[in-house]
Amino acid sequence: MSQVFTKSMARNIFYGGSVFFFLLFLALTFDTTKALPARDQSHLLDPTTELGQKIAHGKSLWEANNCIGCHTLLGEGAYFAPELGNVYVRFGKNKEAIKAFIQSRPAEGIPGRRSMPQFNFSGEELDAIAEFLKYSSEINTAGWPPNQQG
Amino acid sequence: MKYASQSVARPYFVAAIALFVAQILFGLIMGLQYVVGDFLFPEIPFNVARMVHTNALIVWLLMAFMGAAYYLVPEEAERELFAPWLATLMFWIFLIAAGLTVAGYLLVPYAGLAKLTANELLPTMGREFLEQPTITKLGIVVVALAFLFNIGMTILKGRKTVVNLVMLIGLTGLAVFFLFAFYNPTNLVLDKYYWWWVVHLWVEGVWELILGSMLAFVLIKTTGVDREVIEKWLYVIIAMTLITGIIGTGHHYYWIGTPEYWQWWGSIFSAMEPIPFFMMTVYAFNMVNRRRRNHPNKAAVLWALGTAVMAFLGAGVWGFLHTLSPINFYTHGTQITAAHGHLAFYGAYVLISLTMISYAMPLMNGREANSERSQVLEMWSFWLMTVSMVFITLFLTAAGILQVYLQRFSDAPLQFMLAQDKIALFYWLREITGLVFLAGLVLYIVAFFVAAKDAKEPAAAVPATA
């Protein structure tokens, strides 16, 4: 680069540009936060309601069993097992079907094939997980995934 | 090596390479599980192998960054490290915490580990890449703070160079954004929104500053080009990184419940994210072509040029491939993402770490460069690992394109597992190529022992400095 463009100019672009775009990012974050309640189903999450507690419990079970280590949720996670952000829709909006699937996994797996571990969840835990997955499927994700297969 | 305290970097580098080996071994386990689904099931289920694979990567890169900082900061600051004992102490704390965490992953079911470490007090576990128990995360914060204090004081009391300052800004950002790992609301959208403040603002933000600083240091040392020139380039590159990369976070906000306008912000800014990587390629080759000396450590220069090219391909080109929202609508969360992840991490962060290790290790062992034949081995390992990673990426890309077509694009979309069965060939090819990568890594380690042997018995080999 020629001498017209000096190191101190480069430095100023770095500091000025970084600060400007970080502030812009904060402004967009502020706007997003305001827009979210209309999209993120947060009205379901009230911890004083039974439903809110169930979803919170479901999310903590989702995390404590590292479900994201095989599955994606809204497209994020591992790509070893199906997307679960829309599993409620894929299973015909049937929570019982989700619970039955989780419950029916063989503890020793399936010879030669991928299989979900058997987690031995209680009925209450299964209920919470299904409720969490139902909540996930109702978030407004701008039309993603492209179809039911996730 | 100009200052005795720079040698605190050595254990960091050694541990980094050991964890690198663990990362690759578990990568091979996962790769096999993709096609032989019940391999090691239920003893090491896929999610456990994946945690070890990704967490080992993160920890060894952090180890390499810290080692690099301990090595280059004193030399740039022209004084001894503020507290070498603290650096050594933190190394052992970090290593033991990492070892215990991996042991926990492998020996206890994950839910048991969560209970054992009282995750319910401050639930942070079970999110991709942030699977570590909360106590481990707190340990990382302690290590990071002690580390920042140590190199911060060294810089404060010594010469302030652009390389030093950029390193310090990058590492400070790394520590600050990691704090978002402790924010885990029930609201899934907010959880994901701020999860990216750790993940994206690390790898497409502050880590690139660390990369830039390490590359600049090695280029200054190996080419002898005027520091002023290199520092100006460094500023321009990291300026473009943050100008494009911060709003570029928006490419993760297309489909997680955030407003649709992110499709515009994310697409436009992340489409520009390859620019700083392209500049890095131009600059690295320019500096090497304008070199004022021929540094005897040719392997280090190869790793440095490799970083510049492969970071552009992996982070730049493969990132651009699926960053525009109309394309990402179909590719989001498929093997395309995996392809990009592999080449980007390898090209940018693995290679810059190996560049620094390649440059600094011989100096810490009291020689400017390793013997000729050790360097030849190292260069072989570079080509084996780099070419096999390119092919791993190509196979995953092919798998991803087919997956997108079969599962999301065709008139009769297939179920996930049916689509997976149809693309198994590419998973096999990826796994076989992974074995070549492992061979390259083994060669890399062999090169260290050959170097040590040749240094002891110089008659056996022609020294590269001759």
**What is the model's pLDDT at position B225?**
97
CA distance B120 to A143: 34
Q: Cβ separation of B233 and A149 shorter than 8 Å?
A: no
The structure tokens listed for B144 are 């990071």
Cα torsion B249, B255, B257, B261: sign: positive
CB contact under 8 A, B332 and A148: no
Give the model's pLDDT for residue B466.
43
- C-alpha B327/C-alpha B321 separation (Å) is 8
pLDDT value for B462:
56
At residue B223, the pLDDT reads 97
Domain boundaries, chain B: 1-160, 217-466
Q: B294: distance to nearest CA of chain A, Å?
A: 23
CB B38 within 8 A of CB A112: yes
Concatenate the DSSP letters of all residues of B197-239 into one string.
Answer: HHHHHIIIIIHHHHHHHHHHHHHHHHH---HHHHHHHHHHHHH
Collapse the DSSP code of B163 into the 3-class scheme (helix H, G, I; strand E, B; otherwise coil) and give the result: helix
pLDDT of residue A4: 87
Q: How far apart are CA B351 and CA B397, in angstroms?
A: 21
With contact defined as beta carbons under 8 Å apart, do A32 and B259 qualify? yes
Per CATH, the number for A40-150 is 1.10.760.10
- Tokens representing B418 are 């049916």
Q: What is the DSSP string of A65-93?
A: TTGGGT-EETTEE-SSS---TTHHHHTTS
Would the CB atoms of A40 and B190 count as touching at under 8 Å? Answer: yes
Interface test with B, best of A2, A13, A24, A32 (most B CBs within 10 A): A32
Residues of B in contact with A13 (CB under 8 A): 235-236, 239
Q: Do residues A113 and A61 touch, judged by C-beta distance below 8 A?
A: no
Mean pLDDT of A29-46: 97
Contacts of A49 in chain B (CB under 8 A): none
What's the fold here for domain B217-466?
Cytochrome C Oxidase; Chain A (1.20.210)
Which band of pLDDT confidence, cut at 50, 70 and 90, is reported for residue A2?
low
**Closest in A11, A65, A77 to B111, CB measured:** A65
Report which of B132, B139, B123 is spatially closest to residue B184, judged by C-alpha positions.
B123
- Inspect the interface and report whether the beta carbons of B125 and A64 lie closer than 8 Å: yes
User: Quick check: B50 and A117 CB within 8 A?
Assistant: no
In the three-class reduction of DSSP (H, G, I as helix; E, B as strand; rest coil), residue A83 is classed as coil
Q: How far is CA B287 from the centre of its chain?
A: 24
CB B254 within 8 A of CB B328: yes
Place of tokens 């955030």: B258
Reported residue count of chain B is 466
Across chain B, which has 466 residues, the per-10-residue mean pLDDT values are 96 98 98 97 97 98 98 98 98 97 97 97 97 97 97 97 98 97 98 98 97 98 96 98 98 98 98 98 97 96 98 98 98 98 98 98 96 97 98 98 97 97 98 98 98 86 52
Q: What's the predicted TM-score (pTM) here?
A: 0.97
- CA distances to A125, B114, B126, B185, B194 from A103, rounded to whole Å, are 11, 21, 21, 27, 32
Predicted pLDDT at B412:
96
Mean pLDDT of the A19-37 span = 98
Specify whether the CB–CB gap between B355 and B218 falls below 8 A: yes
Q: Which residue has the tokens 């701008």?
A: A142
pLDDT at B450: 97
Residue of A nearest to B121 (CA): A60
Q: Is residue A127 within 8 Å of residue A54, measured between CB atoms?
A: yes
- Whether residue A18 is predicted with pLDDT greater than 70 in this model: the reply is yes
Token pair, residue B213, equals 């600083």
